[in-house]
Amino acid sequence: MTRPTISLLLGVHNHQPVDNWDHVIQEATDKCYRPFLALLEKHPGVKMSVHYTGYLLDWLAEHHPDLIEQLKRLIQRGQVEVFTGGMYEPILSIIPDEDKTGQIMRLTHRIQELLGAAPKGLWLAERVWEPQLVKFLAEAGVKYICLDDSHFISVGLDSVELLGRYTSEEQGKTIDIFPVAKEMRYLIPYADPQVIMDQLYQWASPEGNRAAIYFDDGEKFGVWPGTYKSVYTEKWLERFFSAIEANPETVKCQLFSEYVAQTPSFGRIYLPTASYSEMQEWALPAKHVNELEDALHHAPENYKRFLRGGFWRHFLVKYPESNNLHKKMLHVSEKVRKLVSKNENDAQKALNHLWKGQSNDAFWHGVFGGLYLTNLRNATYNHLLLAENLADEALHGNSFYRLLKTDFDCDNQPELIVETPWQNLYFDPQSGGALFELDYRPKAMNLLDTLARRYEPYHDKLAGAIMDHEGGDGAQTIHERVVTKEKGLDQLLHYDWHRRISLLDHFLAEDTTLEKFSQVQYGEQGDFVNQPYTVEAFGTNAIVLQRQGHVWVHNQEYPIQVEKRLTVPPNAATLNIEYRITHQGPQDTISLWFAPEFNVNLLAPDAPDRYYQIPKSLTTTKSAANIDGNIAVAEKTETLSDTRMVSRGVLESIPGIELVDEWMGLTYQLLFEEPTTLWRFPIETVSQSEAGFERVYQSSTLLPNWQFSLKPGETKTFSLTQNILS
């Protein structure tokens, strides 16, 4: 009788976000990447496929070339196979087609250059699958990829049919696809190695054509909470490798390429759009996540395979800020493509920045911080703006003034964009006539890169979370941990009903306070904040946005017109704002409290080099950013008791406010024609990461406000100036 055997195909995916802090990558190297390879080299009977995303691979080559040499040795002795992917780990399905191929080929060439290997397999970022990818992958030379077994289960395959590979096709192009076993993902590296071996023995067959497939995050081996102790100090990984080597007759540890060469495909398959099951759950609207969990809990076991979550692209609907980032990427990609077609000198440099700006981390949110982490979003915008600067300078020179009326966010309604060498201003007439992107181009920074506070299903668990302590109770999966980094985070759970952007026009109820407004517990008396404005003018002389709306005063509705006249000079990062508020009713003098909202994100809420200051007096002077014209600037003085970005308070009768960023070398000014009352407070979200619940500073809200009365037909005018200086 033939002895049952099974092939064991192991893979790890190692990733660090673009421009992640060096100390974070160094810690991951010390706790994970280095000890993992050291143990692997000690166990020649264990074969492993590895994937390093391009940014991490380049970082290791620069900072730890000995690890690159170690990888080369492992490849040369046939113990390691390297997978390619998108160079900077993009979600391939959502980037332009030229960039799909370009990113894959860039990482493939980099692997060949550094390691002397020609990859055949590809790691698909976050296993986000769409069927049209087959064609692009095949044309980029990819032979096989790994996806979660849930993809295969959803089309009707049984568990025993998941132990091998299948072939998929698009327009006559084919690639092979391996289903990664969910059991293996959850057992490694948490279960006793013998439990894993017992599972492999159960899957073994006399035919010997089956394969147990594992391919998951390498950071599980030392970086995830509690895993360094369990994996290395308590020697889980060494025991696992030894167990594999102890029974080579039954468990054949192979490279993917070896298995493909020896075993035929199980057949043709067509898979639906999908990702791993947790990602599909996170992509759902927040209010439906608990419903899916409840359905999965109560459904009969054989029905659960047909219950699945949402579609990855819904993150672009769930979070408008993610959509903003995505559409900015498409906008810049189009510019860079024109540069590439002209073979300009800076084309490759611009292309590299664009591709860095396509890194997936900042586009979505689940257990990992992702979209919620301001440093990741800032890095993405930074590279997109660096690419845009190179493209615009090459295509238009260093003096241009572009007005675009275009459906930027793809909602079938036009947005207004003003582009100069100093700044980009993006306005949304359909949503309050708001300013939703403010790019300061000399520093390649979007100062309106903010995130609104939203309900997340895991907020329901916050009350029961425990404080995290070093060591904890041992290794747990990130899906099991319910810990918090600080007490009292539940007091921050306030939810916004609009995006936290600028030029949002509030009319406040008479009992509104700073505390009520910041906690979204106030009365909004007008219908202007996120409602449509008409575009009365859009030109170099002025942008005029207008809304015929209403304000409720003492339970009576009054017609009010709000007009904002905006002017953008060509040679400064300045926006001049004039509000005209007109009482259009036939009777009654009414009392109004008007407050246009502004938001600014300088990234660091407590850093001493990021702070508020109040202008002492206004002067007219020349600015380095305004060679040809005059703008209002201010003498600087520090009179605030708390100048931090995280501070809050009411400032009475001030000429303006400045937010200074010494680290970036810029100052944001909001100046008023007449002394004005201003409220300030931070927007802080509560998100969950692999380390637990955490507070994240998103922006500082500035709310100048005026109380006044209007007779029928009377107009009140307010003038403000927004400057960015460096």
Q: What DSSP string describes 143-181?
A: -EEEEEHHHHHTTT--GGGGSS-EEEEETTEEEEEEEEP
The DSSP bridge partners found for residue 145 are 122, 177
Q: Which of 126, 130, 148, 344 is catalytic?
A: 126
CA–CA dist 496, 490 (Å, integer): 15
Strands laid side by side in the 445-446 sheet: 402-406, 415-419, 423-428, 434-440, 445-446
Omega into 4 within 30° of 0, i.e. cis?
Answer: no
**Closest by Cα among 151, 240, 166, 161 to 203:** 161
d(CA 271, CA 133): 11
DSSP one-letter string for 360-426: GGGG--SSS-GGG-HHHHHHHHHHHHHHHHHHHHHHHTT---EEEEE-TTSSSS-EEEEE-SSEEEE
Terminal-to-terminal C-alpha distance of the chain: 80
For residue 715, the cross-strand partners are: 582
Asked whether 669 and 634 are in contact (CB, 8 A), the reply is yes
Q: Which of 30, 41, 217, 684 is catalytic?
A: 217
Of 167, 143, 142, 163, the C-alpha closest to 153 is 163
Q: Tell me how far apart the 2 most distant CA atoms of the chain are, in Å.
A: 99
User: For residues 317 and 286, is the Cβ–Cβ distance under 8 A?
Assistant: no
CA distance 177 to 121: 10
What are phi and psi for residue 670, nearest 5 degrees?
-125, 110
Quick check: is 126 catalytic?
A: yes
Token pair in block for residue 491: 């007091």
CA distance 607 to 454: 26
Name the nearest CA neighbour of 579 among 474, 660, 511, 672. Answer: 672
- Select from 456, 129, 153, 128 the least CA-distant residue to 288: 456
Contact 663, 445 (CB under 8 A): no
216 is catalytic: no
Burial string for 27-45 (b: 16+ CB within 10 Å, else e) reads ebbebbbbbbbebbbebee
CB 315, CB 322: distance < 8 Å: yes
Residue with tokens 């590296």: 189
DSSP 126: G
Residue closest to 243 by CA, chosen among 189, 284, 294, 287:
189
Structure tokens given for 46: 């264990």
- The residues annotated with a catalytic role in the active site are 126, 217
